[in-house]
Structure formats: C-alpha cells, structure tokens
Amino acid sequence: MKASILVTVLTFLLFPYFGSAQYYRTTVIGNTPKNLNKDRVNNKLDIDPDWTTIHSNPTAAAWSSIQTLPFTFLFNGSPVDSYKVSSTGVLTFNTETTIIPGAIPTALPSASIPDNSICLWGMKPNIAPTWASCFISHKTFGKIGNRQYWVMFSFCPNGTIARSTWSIVLEESSNNIYLVEQWNGAGGVSALSVGIQINSSLAFSDPLSPSVPVFSKYNFLRADDKYHRFAPGIRPQVDIELIDFNMPYFTTPGNKAITGTIHNVGTNTVTNLDVTWNDGSGPVSEKISVNIAPDSIYTFNCSNQWNAQAGPQKLITLTVTTTGDLDSLNNAYEIPVTVLTNTPKKYVVLEERTGTWCGYCPSSAIGMAQLELDLGSDFIGIAVHSSDPMEISSYDRFGTYIKGGGHPSLVFDRVDESGFIGSTTLLKIINNRKAFAVPCEVKSLSKSINSLTNSINISCETQWIGDIHGDYRLSCVIVEDDLVGTSSSWFQANAFAGGSSGPAKFPSNVNNGFDFAQAQNPANPSGWGGFDHVARYLSNSDLLGNPNSLPPGEVPMGTHSYTFEPIPSSVVKDINKAYAIVMIVDEYTGDILNAKKISLSNFPAGIYDLKENVNIEVYPNPAQDLVHVSVDSKKTNSNFSIALTDILGNEVRRISSIENNIKVSLNIESLSNGMYFINLVNEEGTIAVKKIFITR
C-alpha cells in the first residue's frame, strides 16, 4: 500500500517579482513527487548500477564535470540541457562559472551562488570520508514526456547532522523543480538554504533558509519524506495534484476500493472532483462533491469498485480533475497490479537490530523469544548484531541501507518497524503482514553437508503464481542459537539491572527464565544460555540477495530452482544449533516477499551427508498431546533411541531400541508449553536433533 500523506504547508513568493521570473512553492509530506522514485533512500550507491555517481566522497568544495540532462528542461522560461553540481549542494545551469559555493550557507539570494542555480546549499564535503558519507549521483525515472531526473546527495553532512539525504528533481514537461528531504541521521541541527536563485537579487526559497529544520526521520520509508515543489508561473486559482493512488501491487480476486489522495495547490476551495479509473477494459467515471480548502490534503473513495479478476498484470490508471483545472500534468497516477489466482502462505521475516553494547537490547531478545513460542515453526527471526563479536559487516549495513531506526528495534519484512517490544503489538504486526497477498513462496528447501570440503549446501525451489514483472532475488542467511563468548565484548550491557528500567524477563520456559532486572550490568550470556537467532552468514554478502538467482525483469509462472554457493561450515560454532533461511527479496526496494527456514541440526557432526543417510520427520509442530516421529535411515543395521529433552537438556521422555523406517508417537499431554528437542541417538551418539514446540 502506498504511503499516506500527513501534512501540507504552502508559501507564496518570498522575493519581489522582477521581469518574467516567477515561481511559487508548495510543500508536501508523505511521499516522493508523484511516487515515481520508489528506490530506497540510500540506494546502495556503491553497488547499484542504476545510479550514476557524480561525486563520491568529495573531500573539498568542488564542481563536478558537466552533466547532460536526458531531456530539455525550461528553467526560468529558458531551455537548458546541461548542468554541474557542487559538493556543497548547489546545482547550476551556469556551467561556465568558476565560483565554488562554500559549505556554510546564507539566505538566498547570495553573491556566493551562481546565477541560474538550484540550492540545497550547506552540504559539507567529507573531512574524513567513510563508506557512509556523501555520494552524489543521478538517475531518471518515469516515461518519456513525464520523466523525473533526480540528483541525490546521499549521506552528506550538513550543519551538525553527520549524515543526511536530499535530492534535486527536475520534471519533464511541467518544468517543476522538487527539493526532496528523504533521510536524516539521528541527532543534530540542519543548516541548509533550500530554493532557487535566478540571480544575485532574485531567489525563491524556504523562508527558514539558511537553517531549514529537519523533518524526515532516521528511516528509509517514504512516508516521512518531505518535498518542496517550485512550479513556474503564478500560483493558479484552481489546481489539484493527485499525489497517491492506494492500490497494492498484488491482490486477490474480488471487489477492490478505488482510493486516491489529492493536494489542493490552488488558491480557491475545490468543491467537486471528476474521478476516472481504467483497468484497460474501459473508463469508469463519477463525480464526487467535496469541500477542500487551499493547501489541504484530501483522500477520496469511489463508489464504484474494481472487480479484480485473476489474469495477467493490469496497468490501472486513475485520473482526477476539477472544474477549471487547466493543469493536466499532475492529475494522473498509474499502478501495475497482478490479481493472483491463489495466494501461498506468507511467512514474515523478523530482523532484530541489536548489539551487546546496547543496554536496552535485552528487550528485543525477549520479544523474539516470546514470538518464537507464540508462532512455533512459523517463526523466522534473525538477530543482526552491530559492533560486537557477532557482527557481519555486510549484514550490519541493514540498519543503514535497508531500514533505519535505533537499537533495539524489530523490522518486519524490511517494511514495518517496531521499537515497542510488547508481544501483543508484535503479533498484530506479524498477522497484518501475513494477510498481504504475495505472488510466490519458497516451496521447498534441501540441505547437505560435504565433509571433504567442510561446506554446507543449500538448494531451494520457489513457486510463482502467474508471470510476475519485476526484479527479484533469493537470499540465504545462516543463523545460530546459544552463542556464548568469554571476553568482555560478549557480555550484554544491561540497562534493566536493578529494576529501574522496568521488567525484562525471558518467558519462564525459555532461556532459564532469565531476569535481566535481577542480573548484573553487564550480564554474562551464559546465564540465559547464549544469544539466539544470530546471523552468521549472508549469501553474496549482499542484502539484496544473489544476482540471477531468479529470472530478471519477469519471473515466469511455475517452479524455479536455485542452489547457493557452498557455505563454509566454519561460519557456525555448532551446526546442530543452526538454521538456513531463504528469502525472496525485491531487488528494487529490498522488501522481503516470502521466506522459509530449515534446521541444520540433524547434520551428524560433519561425519555423514545426512541427506543421503538419515531423515527424521517430526509432526505436528507445534504439538499439543501427541508428537509423531518418523525415522528413515539408509544406514544398515541401525537401531535408535529417541530422547525428548527440555531446553536445559533434561530428558523427559525416551523410546529405546526402535528400528529403521518406523513411526513412533510420544505422549506429551502432561508437559508444559515451551520448546523441546527430539534427539535421535544410536551407538555413535546423538546424530539428529529436531526442535519442537508444545503449544496449547
């Protein structure tokens, strides 16, 4: 679903009108202009070939080389087709200028700014460049005739903010200029002059320049983006702009609401809307009576719903006008929608941002433990550690490149985020996400271990419902439970010690029911059995997955197989406590569509290729009164025992001397809810372990 609009503000000309030059400014919060740019804010600029770098970690105030626009743009009524951009946030069409604006801005107009310039003035070159600092790049979005050309200042310092991301956007045909605030690092005060300078005596800008305050938060969702729209000419009396069309990309058959959001950018109150939508089978129109004041945002619902029927992808267009609206360039929106014949089961991936240095992170670990109890085998959790012995540097960039937020936080499919760890809230988010229609599933996972190369091999099959347009990839993550270290860097900072920060206790049947309020600061992880769900390996060292793991551009309907590169078994300490998680990732956004996990615990200590020798199935899982165990071994003369143990290793049930290829049942009705382990034991010791949950 598209981001909703939150607030709008409008200001008029900030400087007197001279000659033919005139722009008026409106601002919108809650989206990018016309939602053409759906890329994540940072855009993975160091690895994403779709963006072309202009400056990379500039260390001084400097101009770029001259860049060529993909279309002719009218600036102040005159055509321009080339520009250059400074590392301090100024784009100028005066490509012959030698004036280099410094990093400390003043109000516009300014003699320090060349004529015919667009300003996000105040970006600072990097004194000490790092991977996270100041990329300036460009990319074009949209179709010919209605394209947008983006120049993005990504992770550039300004004022006392260590990193911020803004963009200058030039729009074809309308000749609008957008200055888009997209992201700000935590903390600090912004110092930018935001506007357009015609010459040293005429400019149009945000009146708070050179100290335009921060609005966008420390995350990469577009819902808190803010953009300033500088439109040429005089503000019209009647003009509405369609800024959102609330329709999902994937849905199921049935009647669907047609809902849109408009912004009244004219000076008159709007009293009527003419709404037309078309799924390719013909237009459907209606009139809606409204009362929308200037500068206001309004969301409407059509009385006629769309009868969505399964089939190939449809391009649905929505057009909204009002009486007297002469600007038709900002009245239309289109969304590609696929109606699925059926929808596979949706698994939600929960990624935890954590670190041993983070005093409040025990709360997120407790939240994950409770969810694992609540969801049983449906739980897919990954603890992404930062700046501690469990960090994977390529995965730690998750917090910067895919989703922001602090530590601790829990992120769902890289779309929704919760800093609140209450289990009721977390379950509500997960259940909401489970209801989303998805066009694919990880149908099956298989695993094997090669004792000669000490490697783990993971293969999968994905099933796709229909021909699905887009670029998708598969990603494999190995996670491990019960990690403990002896050095001080493994000890968990504990803000809950002494009870002053509230309760922080694992469920009674998980991790010894460890209570952080009763523990020392820092807390020794051996007290609760160690850190769980810890990411130990990320395939291709890439959050967006493995290139060409799925057909690019369009994934045809049917089954697609893929085998990941062999994974060194050394990435985990104990393979019996490890899992492989395979995710289907949208390369365009980083969102996770679906996933599946498989336990590696039934690998027998690196001696056998278990896939060829032993198979153990446990069902149902979660279980209530009985749990059934099926053992199939290709080893000859094998007799087994089955031991059921609790999380402390205490044996609570055993069936001895069972034979190969047999099914047995364990009565568990008297056991408490919680996590247990089915251990398959022969003369060589424990050769397979399966985790089960008892939930009533």
For the cut 70, the answer to whether the pLDDT of residue 414 exceeds it is yes
The position carrying tokens 């801005």 is: 105
* Pair 218, 274 in one domain: no
- Residue 562: the pLDDT is 97
* Pair 628, 675 in one domain: yes
β-sheet bridge partners, residue 226: 29, 181
Phi, psi at 500, each rounded to 5°: -70, -20
- Residue 17: the pLDDT is 34
* Pair 208, 244 in one domain: no
Written as six digits, the tokens of 101 are: 């604006």
* Pair 649, 536 in one domain: no
Alpha-carbon distance of 416 to 433, in angstroms, equals 9
pLDDT tens figures, 221-252: 566 788 999 999 988 999 999 988 988 889 98
For the cut 80, the answer to whether the pLDDT of residue 13 exceeds it is no
Confidence bin at 317 (pLDDT 50/70/90): very high
Q: Is residue 384 part of a domain?
A: yes
Range scoring the smallest mean pLDDT among 28-37, 420-429, 686-695: 420-429
Name every residue whose Cβ is closer than 8 Å to that of residue 125 and which is 6 or more positions away in sequence: 58, 59, 60, 61, 62, 87, 88, 103, 134
For the cut 60, the answer to whether the pLDDT of residue 574 exceeds it is yes
Please give the average per-residue pLDDT across 434-452, as a whole number.
87
* Pair 440, 543 in one domain: yes
> What does the buried/exposed string (b/e) look like for 196-223 if buried means 16 or more CB atoms within 10 Å of the residue's CB?
bbbbeebbbbbeebbebebebebbbbbe
Written as six digits, the tokens of 221 are: 């969702």
- Residue 47: the pLDDT is 45
pLDDT tens figures, 646-695: 766 678 888 876 666 677 888 898 888 888 888 877 765 666 777 888 88
Strands (E), 3-66: 7-11, 23-29, 52-56
Query: Reduced to 3 DSSP states, what percent helix, strand and coil does the chain have, rounded to the nearest 5?
Result: 10, 45, 45
Confidence bin at 601 (pLDDT 50/70/90): confident
Greater confidence, 501 or 291? 291
* Mean pLDDT for the chain overall: 85
- Residue 684: the pLDDT is 57
SS (H, E, C) 381-434: EEEEECCCCCCCHHHHCHHHHCCCCCCCEEEECCCEEECCCCHHHHHHHHHHHH
- Residue 222: the pLDDT is 64
Domain with 189, as residue range(s), is: 7-232
Confidence bin at 588 (pLDDT 50/70/90): confident
For the cut 50, the answer to whether the pLDDT of residue 54 exceeds it is yes
For the cut 60, the answer to whether the pLDDT of residue 14 exceeds it is no
DSSP strand pairing (567-568 vs 592-599): unpaired
Q: Is the peptide bond preceding residue 522 cis, with omega within 30 degrees of 0?
A: yes
Query: Any idea what the CATH number is for the domain that residue 576 is in?
Result: 2.60.40.10
Q: How much of the chain, in percent, has pLDDT values that exceed 90?
A: 52
* Pair 537, 680 in one domain: no
Q: Is residue 551 part of a domain?
A: yes
| Counted domains in the chain | 4
* Pair 269, 165 in one domain: no
Greater confidence, 49 or 353? 353
Q: Is residue 138 part of a domain?
A: yes
pLDDT tens figures, 340-394: 888 899 999 999 999 999 999 999 999 999 999 888 889 999 999 999 999 998 8
For the cut 60, the answer to whether the pLDDT of residue 620 exceeds it is yes
* Pair 510, 655 in one domain: no
* Pair 126, 210 in one domain: yes
Q: Is residue 2 part of a domain?
A: no
Greater confidence, 257 or 184? 257
* Pair 228, 244 in one domain: no
Confidence bin at 43 (pLDDT 50/70/90): very low
- Residue 453: the pLDDT is 79
For the cut 80, the answer to whether the pLDDT of residue 48 exceeds it is no
Query: Any idea what the CATH number is for the domain that residue 621 is in?
Result: 2.60.40.1930
* Pair 356, 332 in one domain: no
339, 369, 398 - which closes a domain: 339
How many angstroms separate the Cα of 601 from the Cα of each of 297, 512, 532? 55, 21, 14
Range scoring the smallest mean pLDDT among 131-135, 331-335, 637-641, 644-648: 131-135
Order across the sheet with 193-199: list the strands.
Answer: 67-75, 78-85, 90-92, 117-121, 193-199, 202-205
Q: Is residue 277 part of a domain?
A: yes
For the cut 80, the answer to whether the pLDDT of residue 129 exceeds it is no
- Residue 40: the pLDDT is 64
Q: Is residue 126 part of a domain?
A: yes
Q: How far is CA 106 from the centre of its chain?
A: 36
Q: Is residue 604 part of a domain?
A: no
CB atoms within 10 A of CB 617: 13
- Residue 238: the pLDDT is 95
Confidence bin at 18 (pLDDT 50/70/90): very low
User: End-to-end CA distance of the chain, in Å?
Assistant: 35
Q: How much of the chain, in percent, has pLDDT values that exceed 70?
A: 86
Please give the average per-residue pLDDT across 257-275, as a whole number.
94
Confidence bin at 312 (pLDDT 50/70/90): confident
* Pair 402, 465 in one domain: yes
Q: Is residue 605 part of a domain?
A: no
Please give the average per-residue pLDDT across 84-109, as a whole number.
95
| Residue 688 DSSP SS3 | strand
Greater confidence, 682 or 321? 321
For the cut 50, the answer to whether the pLDDT of residue 611 exceeds it is no
- Residue 28: the pLDDT is 82
